[in-house]
Structure 1
Amino acid sequence: MNSTLVLRKLRQKRSNLIWITVFFLLLGASIAALYYAAAQIDYVWRWYRIPRYFYYQEDIEIKAELGGEVAAIALQGDTVSITVKGDGEEKTYTAPTRNATVSEGDLIFVGDTLASYKTWKVGILLIGLWITIKVSLISILFGILIGILTGLSRISSNPALKWSAITYIELIRGSPLLVQIFIWYFVLGTLINTLLVKQQVGITIPPLWFGVAALAFFAGAYVAEIVRAGIQSIHRGQTEAARSLGMNYFQTMTHVILPQAMRRILPPLAGQFISLIKDSSLLGIIAIRELTKATREVVTTSLQPFELWFMCALLYLVLTFSLSMCVQVLERRTLA
């Protein structure tokens, strides 16, 4: 019996090794085919340029705004102060460097460089990645809140709450997200900001928040159905037992039903939120520089579509995979 089991395990390991080898061979063949196809169109791969779109050094030049003569150059630690005297005027420029490009007594014209230094700056891809993360997290939080409230209203015995929830869910699920983003930005955004201007509030809502609202309400409709299905999957006996112990509706939902339903709705919730991260790429159409729009801008200026779009896809994969791992950890703790 033991020898048969050992033999079976050895065969299983050998089979797994063969199929793992097949997987890596297919992966290598796909990469080789891609490089071969790129070579046929004379495409030059420039992966070494990618890091500059995440973090780079920029040359900053301090230019004269006043024509005249360099009256004084003073060194103070790691900074330099350059004083320029013109027609009855005097102006001092300070730079975080000890290297000035002018000397005392030099004649200066407007626009001449007085000093230059290098500084590290965040690249456009990192900015786009941060905006994608921020928009996605805020939308997920509001989507959960909207979804739970709407899901509870969906199974409520109150006709007003139930019909309102059904109307909201069907309207959101029955129209494309792209159309909803347009409505939030061009219709509701214009109306709200116009009212704010007419009321002389002094502020207007930026496009980012209309994009967040569109994503949150879109996700909320799907989360509501997930919550409804999770709650209704719990046997009615659980509710009856809680009510027999003297719990009211809120206590029953909080302490009995929702904790059990959460174990069942976590996997579909993870799938919905992963889709939400990818759907955030649509916000580029309303001038929000998220990851996809940032990548498109860099492709336009650098003419490196292959490397940049592969990098964009890899960054989205990192975000979605990280979220998936977090949900799996949360799911294991919930089941423990």
Structure 2
Amino acid sequence: MQEPISFFTSFNFNDLWFLSEAALRTLWISLISISIGTLLGCIFGWLQHESKRLAGILISPVLDIFRSVPLIIQLVLFYNFAPIVGLHLDPFYSGVVILTLYTASLVSNVARAGIESVPLPMRKASRSLGLTYWQDMIHVVFPIGGRAVFPSWIGVVLGVMKDSALVSVLGYVELLKASQILITRTQEPLLILGLAGLFYFALSYPISMYASKFEQRWAK
């Protein structure tokens, strides 16, 4: 009599390595998206502050769409409609595009708030001392406004890192997708999800700790 064939195997060291690689993919897609998105968000926030008419007509409505529509819908729509206009992107690059725009839409409000947190008399005083517009932005607005909104930007960073798990719906094997694959094979959801949670904590906690120490050093 033949022994029954089992399609399930127990969790092993190779599976832990598989989760580690997926965690690095999560970190990589988050790092790219947050870096580019922060730069774009600062530009958009500056435009919203400097040009109310341009922001009201062109920038703000588009950014509101990315802030309002659930991220998973943005990912699915872009991934499926991009080939229609000739953009044949794999799940990684599709995820980067949407996460970048999503990050930019969030950072734009943070950047605008940072600029507007600097008192107008202080900016006028800097200009009266002979500073140019860009010297005023670099030496006055950025240090003061950046300090005011730095915690908010860290919140955006941590949020986007967790939201990157939604790229799994496109087939990109990041941490959540890898967890789903292992759960299907091992039938050990509590163990796998527990480990995935630890990996997310390991990615996020150092950022929070470094940000807290940097903020304290910046306040001195």
Helix, strand or coil for the counterpart of 2:86? helix
- Structure 1 CA distance for aligned equivalents of residues 128 and 113 of structure 2: 24
Q: Is structure 2 residue 164 aligned with structure 1 residue 164? A: no
How far apart are 1:158 and its partner, in Å?
6.2
Count matched residues: 212
Q: For the aligned residues, what is the CA RMSD?
A: 1.9
Structure with the largest fraction of strand: 1
Structure 2 CA distance for partners of 1:190 and 1:325, relative to 1, 3 Å: farther
> What does 1:1-336 align with in structure 2 at a 5 Å threshold?
49-54=11-16, 123-157=17-51, 159-161=53-55, 163-193=57-87, 204-336=88-220
- Structure 1 CA distance for aligned equivalents of residues 218 and 57 of structure 2: 33
- Structure 2 CA distance for aligned equivalents of residues 265 and 150 of structure 1: 16
Structure 2 CA distance for partners of 1:50 and 1:241, relative to 1, 3 Å: farther
**TM-score normalized with structure 1 length:** 0.60
Q: Percent of pairs identical after alignment? A: 27
Helix, strand or coil for the counterpart of 1:314? helix
How far apart are 1:256 and its partner, in Å?
0.7
Contact 1:156 1:162 in 2 (8 A): no
Contact 2:114 2:146 in 1 (8 A): yes
Question: 1:182 is aligned with what amino acid?
Answer: V
Question: 1:51 is aligned with what amino acid?
Answer: F
Equivalent residue, structure 2, for 1:29: none
Contact 2:33 2:96 in 1 (8 A): yes
Helix, strand or coil for the counterpart of 1:155? helix
How far apart are 1:228 and its partner, in Å?
0.9
Q: Which has the larger radius of gyration?
A: 1
Give the unaligned 5+ runs of structure 2. 1-8
Contact 1:219 1:272 in 2 (8 A): yes
- Structure 2 CA distance for aligned equivalents of residues 192 and 131 of structure 1: 26
Q: Which runs of 4+ in 1 moved over 6 A?
A: none
How far apart are 1:248 and its partner, in Å?
2.7
After superposition, what is the alpha-carbon deviation per residue over 1:256-312, rounded to whole angstroms, capped at 9, x for unaligned? Answer: 111111111111111111111110110000010000000100110111111001111
How far apart are 1:245 and its partner, in Å?
2.0
**TM-score normalized with structure 2 length:** 0.89
Structure with more contact order per residue of length (Cα contacts < 8 Å, sep ≥ 6) = 2
How far apart are 1:152 and its partner, in Å?
0.1
- Structure 2 CA distance for aligned equivalents of residues 307 and 133 of structure 1: 22
Helix, strand or coil for the counterpart of 1:247? coil
